[in-house]
Amino acid sequence: MSRAAKIARRTFLIGSAAVAGGVAFGVILYRRPHENPLLGKLDTGQAALTPYVLIKPDGITLITPRVDLGQGAYHLQAALIAEELDVALDRVSVDPGPPDPAYYNTALAADAAPFPATDDGFLAQTTRAVMDAPMKFMGIQITGGSTTVPDAWTKLRHAGAVARETLKAAAEAQTGTQRSAMTTENGAVILPDGSRLPYTDLATQAARIPPVTDVTLRAPSEWRLIGKDMQRLDIVAKSTGTQEYGIDLLLDDMLYAAVRTNPRQGGAMMAHDATDAKTMRGVQQIVPITGGVGVLADNSWRAMQAVRAIKIDWGPAPYPPEMDAHWQALSDSFIDDRIDSRNRDDGDVEAAFAVDTPITAEYRAPYLAHAPLEPVNATVRVTPERVDVWTATQIPRFVQTHVADITGHDRDAVHVHVLMAGGSFGHRLEDLVVRQATELALAAAGRPVKLTLSREEDMAHDYPRQIAMARGRGAVADGRVVACDLGIAMPSVLASQMGRLGLPAMGPDLQIVAGAWDQPFAIPDYRVTGYRAPALAPISSWRSVGASTNGFFHDSFLDELIHAAGADPLEERLRLCHHAPSRSVLEAVGEMSGWGTPMPEGRGRGVAYCLSFGVPCAEVVEVTATENGIRIDAVFVAAEVGRVIDPVNFENQVQGGVIWGLGHAIMAETTFADGQTEQRNFDSFPFLRQYQCPAITVRGLENDTAVRGIGEPPVPPAAPALANAIFNAIGQRLREMPFNRHIDFV
Amino acid sequence: MKLTIDGTDHDLDIEAEMPLLWVLRDELGLTGVKYGCGIAQCGACTVHIDGQAVRSCQVAVGDVWGAVTTIHGLGDPEALHAVQAAWIAHQVAQCGYCQSGQIMQAAALLATTPAPTDADIDDALSGNLCRCGTYPRIRAAVKSAATTLAEARE
């Protein structure tokens, strides 16, 4: 290690503690900053001014530890650093960096606190602050939960400002000019006489001095990037076929692999016969792995052909093999013994229903595969000294640990290189493919092995979205909704997922009621109960997680009650809503859609609202009943995110979220028969196509103080807005997804 | 086996039944051509054979009947095809994985239908799946590329 780096290691302790502020008693030790992971890797003349900015004589690298899944995370993180650092985005490198506890996710912890996002009270704020400490202690580096923006918003601008001011201090040490008299511009410190000192020339000096941590973030009026349309860093590559995804990696001497593991996920392989496969062209080796078998070959297609030629006897599924038993398990879970949470219990719903016969309804939502278009893949090379892993993952630190557990290397000897993901929607919170590739690589004598799952293999092991069921009871009086009691039953996504990550999942799983218990409505008698169904098929987070089912349940039932009351769907939601930012998004979609203007016969309009991931989002859907089925004509969306960082990407994310919500609600489900998923490809797992896509008009509101992510919040209101519009058009209530089980669509 | 890919002639020792997709990706390193489903349901593998858009996962390499053009042959970052330029201007891509196929399909459409209607775009591009939901931007980009190409012809 160079002398500069040694000094830096002692002195450059710039972490997030200075940003987060405040101290929670009893956890103070855990609030010490993590060491900057870039420091151990520096050569002479290099400076790592924070864990997010690396300056070398030949260039500047911004570290963007949240992985890009298509949501534009790399661009967004780079833009926040660059806003304060004063570098041109097309003149710097962007790198996801190494897995390291320094890159822990603050916002994910805050959202796990048992307070609704609308609660700004002392207890809620204090608890969110304390939640930060265990996340930091464990160094949870996860991309998910729409947290990239709230996590990065202050942290990365602060990192940019610290780096900028430290570079100015270095210039002061070098020139004797007062730091306060300097400015910065396009990667250089500008002295009062106009001369430029490029950051890259100041790196050595900057590494010798203590960092300047007392910085002030720029006012919005000074922003060059935030709030302006930006060209995404990856847009040219992604428009020319030159973006390299995990699946595209080519290494010298690389073997191509395919696997088949028990389609009854988690089941064993009882026996296999690879006699035919062994002799097929290009096949080098047959390798049994956990739950199945793999083939190493000289080409992906040859590997896939060979693995299909292996005769295999599969063991039984470790969960009920048929769907009836899954639905029965949910239906049987609406009992006191299975109550997981009842954090919303206003007034007295039991007393309300003692007087009147309640209005009741039951809703269902199926398992759903994530099925990102790039099948999951991983390339692994194992040598006695080190392991290298190339993959697109949302959980790089867990990947490092899991691979080390398989190979027996120290965790520090496992090098995870995070590559661009061809979509995820939560799928890359799992690392099954990495573990399989590691097992294969152990048999490959130091050669890199690229494992690509076939579409069918990937969808057989998708860890789908939870199956869920809800039962509502409600009452109306004098044209108003007066009582609402919603029970929701599902298996715990958190328990299933945390179990595979080796983390404890104690206490209630708030995802069972997310998007329902935390809605800002002042209904006099109002209760939301989460019932934890027994574990069934393994499940995981799917874009908007619990709210993807619960937003549909809660808003659909509210719409039914409003209809029973004879009230206007938008007016009554506004009357019941006591949260100003939420009222604003409802009013916005009302105005955008011309709510209340008459619609011709056979057309309908529906509104829905859901608060998820701290973001109030309202949508109005317009439909026409045609002779070929329901056609979606238009969607209007408004969401409150505090600050729209990149308007183009914001609109893209919202439109994509709406399409995601609508497409699956209309036509997709994952079902099990004989313990195996019945949908293994896009012929049986359809999705919205160009000809079915409506016009989607988007408005981002910036009234709130908290800055939020938009990847997930547009999903939950899409299905209920569509169902409510269809009811408005033809009088038919849709209480089960996918809707095409009950009605035709164009 | 002789093939012409993006203007370059290749002579490959390869089984005739291997899908063109995997020849392009694993034998020739043309990884801009994407594997998504293998059964012609997603369109991510779309290339041109003699100007016609085809799903390369469904064409056995022994059946290739003409010159193949991939996304790499259509244009590159230094010499963009009009469709690629429109895709950049409209910032269509999110994850971007389907976009090679979408662009190849759009380029084939505009070669035969210089001024496509919305119905033409629906017909031509509904075989190309996008899980991120970039359809509104794809539609806008196709129309803008049509305008650019029309102006270039004038």
pLDDT in tens, A702-730: 998 899 999 999 999 999 999 999 999 99
Judge: B18–A423 Cβ closer than 8 Å, yes or no.
Answer: no
Q: Within this chain, do residues B25 and B43 fall inside the same structural domain, yes or no?
A: yes
Among B58, B74, B90, residue at a domain's last position: B74
Instruction: Provide DSSP, A295-351.
Output: EEESSHHHHHHHHHTSEEEE---SS-SSHHHHHHHHHTT-SGGGEEEEEEEES-HHH
The sheet that has A339-346: what strands, in order across it?
Answer: A339-346, A525-532, A480-490, A468-477, A359-365
What domain range is B44 assigned to?
2-74
Judge: B37–A455 Cβ closer than 8 Å, yes or no.
Answer: yes
Q: Where are the domains of chain A?
A: 3-226, 246-316+376-452, 323-369+463-741
The 10s digit of each residue's pLDDT in A293-321 is 999 999 999 999 999 999 999 999 999 99
Please answer whether residues A172 and A97 qualify as being in contact, where contact means their C-beta atoms are separated by less than 8 angstroms. no
Q: Within this chain, do residues B103 and B132 fall inside the same structural domain, yes or no?
A: yes
Q: Is the pLDDT of residue A506 over 90?
A: no
A3-226 has CATH 3.30.365.10 classification: yes
Look up the CATH number of the domain holding residue B53.
3.10.20.30
Name which CATH class applies to A323-369+463-741. alpha beta
Instruction: Provide DSSP, A388-402.
Output: EEEE--S-HHHHHHH
Average pLDDT for residues A473-494, to the nearest whole number? 97
Q: Is the pLDDT of residue A482 over 60?
A: yes
- For A286-295, A504-513, B24-33, which range has the lowest pLDDT when averaged over its residues? A504-513
Q: Within this chain, do residues B10 and B55 fall inside the same structural domain, yes or no?
A: yes
Strands A629-640, A525-532: parallel, antiparallel or unpaired by DSSP? unpaired
Judge: B97–A649 Cβ closer than 8 Å, yes or no.
Answer: no
Give whole-number Cα distances, A401 to A100, A413, A414, in Å.
12, 10, 8
3-state secondary structure A573-588: HHHHECCHHHHHHHHH
Among B54, B74, B94, residue at a domain's last position: B74
Of A112 and A412, the one with more pLDDT:
A412
Kindly report the nearest CA distance between residue A563 and chain B, in angstroms: 32
What integer pLDDT is reported at residue A2 of this predicted model? 36
Q: Within this chain, do residues B41 and B89 fall inside the same structural domain, yes or no?
A: no
Residue A32 pLDDT level (bands cut at 50, 70, 90)? very low
Can you tell me whether residue B141 is helix, strand or coil?
helix
Q: Within this chain, do residues B62 and B104 fall inside the same structural domain, yes or no?
A: no
Q: Within this chain, do residues B98 and B36 fall inside the same structural domain, yes or no?
A: no
Q: Within this chain, do residues B15 and B54 fall inside the same structural domain, yes or no?
A: yes
Give whole-number Cα distances, A300 to A8, A282, B26, B37, in Å.
46, 10, 7, 14
Look up the CATH number of the domain holding residue B134.
1.10.150.120
Q: Is the pLDDT of residue A11 over 50?
A: no
What integer pLDDT is reported at residue A141 of this predicted model? 74
| Interface ipTM | 0.98
Q: Within this chain, do residues B70 and B87 fall inside the same structural domain, yes or no?
A: no
Q: Within this chain, do residues B91 and B136 fall inside the same structural domain, yes or no?
A: yes
Which chain A residues in 455-514 lie under 8 Å from chain B, judged by CB atoms? 455
Q: Is the pLDDT of residue A13 over 50?
A: no
Average pLDDT for residues A444-473, to the nearest whole number? 98
Q: Write the CB contacts of A414 (distance below 8 Å, at least 6 apart in sequence).
A: A386, A387, A389, A400, A403, A404, A407
The 10s digit of each residue's pLDDT in A196-220 is 999 999 888 887 888 888 899 999 9
Name which CATH class applies to A246-316+376-452. alpha beta
Please answer whether residues A358 and A666 qualify as being in contact, where contact means their C-beta atoms are separated by less than 8 angstroms. no
Judge: A372–B128 Cβ closer than 8 Å, yes or no.
Answer: no
Q: Write the CB contacts of A224 (distance below 8 Å, at least 6 apart in sequence).
A: A83
d(CA A559, CA A569): 7
In the structure encoding, which two tokens stand for residue B47, read together?
A: 């290339």
Of A54 and A286, the one with more pLDDT:
A286
Strand partners, B10: B3
Domain count, chain B: 2
Judge: B33–A241 Cβ closer than 8 Å, yes or no.
Answer: yes
Q: Is the pLDDT of residue A3 over 70?
A: no
Residue A248 pLDDT level (bands cut at 50, 70, 90)? very high
Please answer whether residues A256 and A450 qualify as being in contact, where contact means their C-beta atoms are separated by less than 8 angstroms. yes
Among B51, B74, B97, residue at a domain's last position: B74
Average pLDDT for residues A425-430, to the nearest whole number? 96
Q: Within this chain, do residues B91 and B64 fall inside the same structural domain, yes or no?
A: no
Average pLDDT for residues A421-450, to the nearest whole number? 97
Which chain A residues in 412-441 lie under 8 Å from chain B, judged by CB atoms? 421-425
The 10s digit of each residue's pLDDT in A377-405 is 999 999 999 999 999 999 999 999 999 99
Average pLDDT for residues A219-226, to the nearest whole number? 96
Q: Which residue's structure tokens are 């779309």?
A: B46
Q: Is the pLDDT of residue A419 over 90?
A: yes
What integer pLDDT is reported at residue A17 of this predicted model? 22
Q: Write the CB contacts of A693 (distance below 8 Å, at least 6 apart in sequence).
A: A659, B133, B135, B136, B139
Q: Is the pLDDT of residue A15 over 90?
A: no
On whether any CB of chain B is under 8 Å from the CB of A234, the answer is yes
What integer pLDDT is reported at residue A572 of this predicted model? 98
Q: Within this chain, do residues B55 and B91 fall inside the same structural domain, yes or no?
A: no
